[in-house]
A and B are shown apart, each in its own frame.
Chain A
Amino acid sequence: MSHNHLVFTDNDPQNETTTLNLGPTHPATHGVFQNVLEMDGERIVSGVSTIGYIHRAFEKIAEHRPFYQITPLTDRMNYCSSPINNMGWHMTVEKLLDIKMPKRVDYMRVIVMELARISDHLICNGILGVDTGAFSGFLYLMEEREHIYEVYEEICGARLTTNIGRIGGFERDFNDIAFAKIRKFLKNFPPILKQFETLFNRNRIFIDRTSGIAAVDPETALNYSWSGPILRATGVDYDVRINEPYSSYEDFDFEIPVGTSGDVYDRFIVRNEEMWQSLRIIEQALQKIEKEPKGVFHADVPEFYLPPKEEVYNNMEALIYHFKIVMGEIDAPKKEVYHAVEGGNGELGFYLVSDGGRSPYRLHFRRPSFINYQMYAPMSRGMLLSDAILNMSSLNVIAGELDA
């Protein structure tokens, strides 16, 4: 006699929907994302995204920090490409202070930013492969991301949360090893990216899994304020690097790849193509740096650029400036600026309002992940669960940036 006997009712279980908690710590979501989904079998009927699990109040903290201490906060937004955030922040402050960088610094920044873009797209496309069931591509790419991190390490000493550069330039010049590592990367990476594309681009299984999934038309994408590769995959050629060139991007010859259907496959191809373009940009930047005067790695702005330590110990002027900068004694202009850079997943904007004090009066981050992600739940309606997972991967939403 079993106590667990089945109770039969007249209800047909197929008439009922189930609630599924996808996340916040689901292995397939690659980050802290929670979506409460109403499922009809494998199909999503409706869903609600819950965000804010790693909200750290960066905007509030920034109101209490001097400008140079905000750089480490920006690291922790999109941590797949933190150098872009760092540079974006430096350039925002420079715009506020009206400082112009020497060309060589601009080109050095371009190199770092494009390396960051490659590492961002690498992880996104690699993981997208993993989510479709193709693990090996990811492993090939991870080795290359390691090489990019080694370049960061050579330039600033850190790997993931880089805190790279300073307001007014870089903390030190790229050394010969850094240049050698960049050149080595430029030589070794193309065959591996080619191999990765061979694995995926014409792969029947991959195309079947991704083509036509989560297709978005350009009007909807613009209506939802999408930006970055996912917007370009719908066919809109908006790229901040072209529309509002910063850091001398106007000197470079590169193309903006666009897709046609805005589906997961197009986003994948657009990201791959952007990596090729980034390689082109880095190559050109290396050539341009050769022609610039050697050893220039910061602008001549002693009021804002921290002097080197040995000068602080031996030189009165440097000591004064060091003290003034660290204690926040130098007034910033009363102004408001908005500066946007093309981040790994879209337009990363900094809205900075200064009241002349040592820290921002108000700092707002326009975070592409946050704005891109709001379409996720509405667009998942009617989708298969496994396709929704792919969709999330290809949106490249980074939890740190989503929640700031």
Chain B
Amino acid sequence: MDKLNNQAVLQKITARFGERITIATEPAGLLTFETSKENIVEVLHYLKEDEELQFNFLTDITGIHYPEQALPIGVVYHLHSLTNNIRIRIKVFLEADKPTIASATPLWEGANWMERETYDFFGIIFEGHPNLVRILNVDDMTVFPMRKEYPLEDPNRVDKKDYFFGR
């Protein structure tokens, strides 16, 4: 069987989803594209179940926060097709206020804790998740600490400011 490459995968996905897939890039050789939260379940389902692609291994789900963007909260999926030995990265950006997205747990049981971790740190609400509660942080925490508005160090501290170093 011919090994699939990024181009072939992208072609196949674009043929299927067309405009619903945006901004396809290949940083460091890993095919990356964006989609919207309305389409994510369909995209994931297609990638997992398609007979040729077979992205059957959910490597990782995580979040990212770009405060200056219109849709600041990102969810990043890494999938791996073990049969074709090719990886893919899918991003979905959500609004800052109560970001919600459909859960991937119906597709992969393994998404359970990954989504709990993402909820715990970014406050992304995965709809349809069986048990979306904090996992690493304490239960009575009120903030989502990996968001950029929560600095690690005391923001009043001045001795480490960049302008002291000519930046």
Stretch at the interface among A101-109, A130-138, A206-214, A346-354: A346-354
Measured CB to CB, the residues of B under 8 A from A are: 27-28, 30, 32, 56-60, 62, 64-65, 76, 78, 82, 85, 87, 89, 108-114, 117, 121, 135-138, 145-146, 152-153, 165, 167
Query: Contact at B121–A59, with CB atoms within 8 Å?
Result: yes
Please give the distance in Å from A378's CB to the nearest CB on chain B.
8
Which 3 A-B pairs give the minimum distances between C-beta atoms?
A225-B110, A52-B136, A374-B113
Return chain B residues, CB-CB under 8 Å to A238: 57, 82
Q: For the side of the interface on A, what is the size category?
A: 35 or more
Measured CB to CB, the nearest residue on chain B to A404 is B136
Query: Contact at A60–B85, with CB atoms within 8 Å?
Result: no
The answer for the CA separation of A370 and B120 in the assembled complex, in Å, is 14
Return chain B residues, CB-CB under 8 Å to A329: 165, 167
The answer for the CA separation of A55 and B58 in the assembled complex, in Å, is 24
Return chain B residues, CB-CB under 8 Å to A252: none
Return chain A residues, CB-CB under 8 Å to B32: 336
Known A59-B146, A351-B78, A374-B113; contact A244-B85, beta-carbon cutoff 8 A: yes
Return chain B residues, CB-CB under 8 Å to A338: 28, 30, 78, 87, 89
- Residue A289 at the chain B interface, CB threshold 8 Å: no
Return chain B residues, CB-CB under 8 Å to A375: 109
* CB-contact partner of A96 in B28, B30, B85, under 8 A: B28
The answer for the CA separation of A59 and B146 in the assembled complex, in Å, is 8
Measured CB to CB, the residues of A under 8 A from B are: 51-52, 55, 57, 59-61, 63-64, 95-96, 220, 222-226, 236, 238, 243-244, 327, 329, 335-338, 340, 347, 349, 351, 353, 361-362, 364, 366, 370-371, 373-375, 403-404
Interface Cβ pair total, 8 Å cutoff:
93
Known A61-B152, A96-B28, A374-B113; contact A236-B59, beta-carbon cutoff 8 A: no
Query: Contact at B87–A60, with CB atoms within 8 Å?
Result: no
Query: Contact at A225–B57, with CB atoms within 8 Å?
Result: yes
Return chain B residues, CB-CB under 8 Å to A96: 28
Return chain A residues, CB-CB under 8 Å to B62: 351, 364
The answer for the CA separation of A398 and B28 in the assembled complex, in Å, is 30
13 A-B pairs with CB atoms under 8 Å apart are: A55-B136, A59-B121, A63-B152, A223-B108, A225-B59, A225-B110, A338-B28, A351-B60, A362-B64, A364-B76, A366-B60, A374-B112, A374-B113
Query: Contact at A349–B146, with CB atoms within 8 Å?
Result: no
Measured CB to CB, the nearest residue on chain A to B65 is A362
Query: Contact at A51–B57, with CB atoms within 8 Å?
Result: no
Measured CB to CB, the nearest residue on chain A to B121 is A59
Please give the distance in Å from A211's CB to the nearest CB on chain B.
25
